[in-house]
Structure 1
Amino acid sequence: MGPSVLSAWLQSRYRKNVYLFIYYLIQFCGHSWIFTNMMVRFFSFGKDSMVDTFYAIGLVMRICQSISLLELVHIYVGIESNHLFPRFLQLMERVIILFGVITSQEEVQEKYVVCVLFIFWNLLDMVRYTYSMLSVIGTSYTILTWLSQTLWMPVYPLCVLAEGMYFTYSHLYMERRDVLRVFSIKKKM
């Protein structure tokens, strides 16, 4: 392996690491902003802040989740060494819930479960992106590594529970809307 081949390999590896660091930093900043905004709003306004969570931070949440789709490309191309299928499932679940369900139904956006779901998602992503960002530059903290490897164990079941509650709310709302629509048609006749 000649010096020119080695320097080209190092340069390519350096660019990849710089790109990944910037990507993780952007994601960390976005999710930290969302999480901090939600906490400040909750401590300032109490339960009232939970009702308009989606209106306050929904745009940034949609941007962060859209950018996270790049991770599938990273894994497919080989920039990241994660497994493609589990990451695909996690991202598609979030995209379907965020874009397909929450964004499309304004009446359900005001439910507390949206705030709870966003807190769980952002808590997990803040830890994950911090860990990944520091791993790219070769820095390791025992507590952060432990959090990255174990935080998902209690939080994922809570996310599934919150998502199930959200789908229940969504389904009940659609049923109620359909019933009200039928009664309003009968009254007009």
Structure 2
Amino acid sequence: MAGFMPLCLSTTFSKFSFRLAYSFSYNLFQFCGHTWILANTVARFLMFGQDALADTFYSVGFVMSLCQLLSILELFHIADGIEKARLLPRFIQVMEKNLLLIMIIMLEELQSKPVVCVQLFFWNVLDLLRYPHELLCVMDTPSSTMLWTRYTLWIPLYILTVIVEAATIYQALPYAEQTASQSCPLNSTTAPNSHLPVVLALYLPVLTLGASLTVGQLLKERHHHLEKWNRKRK
């Protein structure tokens, strides 16, 4: 019995250390990835002006896709208790980003449009406001400034991001219709791209509903975290 207790404590400590190291590594990777994307996008625009818009997605698309694909892990982080957050708003955010990214990849003509660069800019700004806060929380050194940025400034920026997402979908509709007409020249409805315009049109109200639910959940989360922080300071 005397030897069993140290063994249990050692196992628990090892598990805790692994979760801590994993959480820190994940958030650091996402922070570095989004920092590189944003720096690359801004630098290209400053150097080449509007000419950089044509191939910005080609330049940063792979890293962006990798970061967004890995963001699906955050749903498991919340479910497993690695991250303390509400599952529903994170699920909506992760899915809307990944679905829109898939749409942009499918519609190559859309990739050179300015709205895509604006979309990438807002996505990365949002993530760069979130991951530093997560890193500080993992290191148990939370900052009041980062807390306010994460749960207050983040919400209006998220609303702007959703507006840009809606604009991206709206601009994608003509290209989706063109792709659908080219993929089914014999008026076949079995082609994978034939229903893409309808799917995008239906996705707009779904995006609005999802964003409304997310904002409501984020406001509750903001109230909870700020109230918890104020109690700690007293």
TM interval, shorter chain, is 0.7 to 0.9
Counterpart selection for 2:41 from 23, 33, 38 = 38
The alpha-carbon deviation at position 54 of structure 1 amounts to 0.8
State the partner residue of 1:74. 77
Deviation at residue 173 of structure 1 after TM alignment = 2.9
For residue 162 of structure 1, what is the aligned residue in structure 2? 164
Deviations 1:135-180 (CA, angstroms, capped at 9, x unpaired): 10111222222211122222112111111111111113334x37x9
Paired with 1:50 and 1:73, the residues of 2 have a C-alpha distance of 35
Write out per-residue CA displacement over residues 47-68 of structure 1, whole angstroms, 9 at most, x where no aligned residue: 2212222111001100000111
CA deviation string 1:76-118 (max 9, x = no partner): 222222222221111110110001x100001111111111111
| Equivalent residues of 1:53, 1:115 under 8 A apart | yes
Aligned-partner Cα distance in 2 for 1:42–1:54? 12
AA of the residue aligned to 1:127: L
Match of residue 108, structure 1, among 107, 110, 114: 110
1:122 is aligned to 124
Quote the RMSD (CA, aligned, Å): 2.3
Which moved further from structure 2: 27-36 or 157-166? 157-166
Give me the whole-angstrom Cα distance separating, in 2, the residues matched to 1:46 and 1:72: 38
Q: Is the 8 A contact 2:107 2:176 kept in 1?
A: no
Number of matched pairs: 181
Q: TM-score, normalised by structure 2?
A: 0.71
Q: Which residue type is aligned with residue 154 of structure 1?
A: P
- 1:15 CA drift (Å): 1.6
CA–CA separation in structure 1 for the residues paired with 2:7 and 2:64: 44
Task: State how far apart, in whole Å, the 1-side matches of 2:88 and 2:21 are.
Answer: 25
Hey, what's the Cα distance between the residues in 2 that align with 1:16 and 1:72? 15
CA distance in 2, matches of 1:85, 1:147: 21
- The match for 2:16 among 13, 16, 19 is 13
Structure 2 gap segments, 5+ residues each: 187-234
Moved more, 85-94 or 3-12: 3-12
| Preserved CA contact (<8 Å) 1:34 1:61 | yes
Match of 1:51 in 2: 54
Residue 109 of structure 2 aligns to a residue whose secondary structure is coil
Higher RCO structure (Cα 8 Å, ≥6 apart): 1
**Residue 151 of structure 2: which of 149, 152, 159 is its match?**
149
CA contact (8 A) 1:131 1:148 kept: yes
The yes-or-no answer on 1:84 pairing with 2:87 is yes
Structure 1 residue 136 and structure 2 residue 138: aligned?
yes
Matched residue type, 1:16: R
Cα distance in 1 between the residues matched to 2:99 and 2:83: 24
What's the TM-score once normalised by structure 1's chain length? 0.87
| Residue matched to 2:207 | none
- Paired with 2:64 and 2:21, the residues of 1 have a C-alpha distance of 24
- The sequence identity of aligned pairs, in percent, is 43
The equivalent residue for 2:63 is 60
Deviation of 1:4 after TM superposition, in Å, equals: 4.2
Asked if 2 retains the 8 angstrom alpha-carbon contact of 1:53 and 1:110, the reply is yes
The residue identity in structure 2 corresponding to 1:109 is Q
- Unaligned runs of 5+ residues in structure 1 are none
Query: Residue 85 of structure 2 aligns to a residue in which SS?
Result: coil
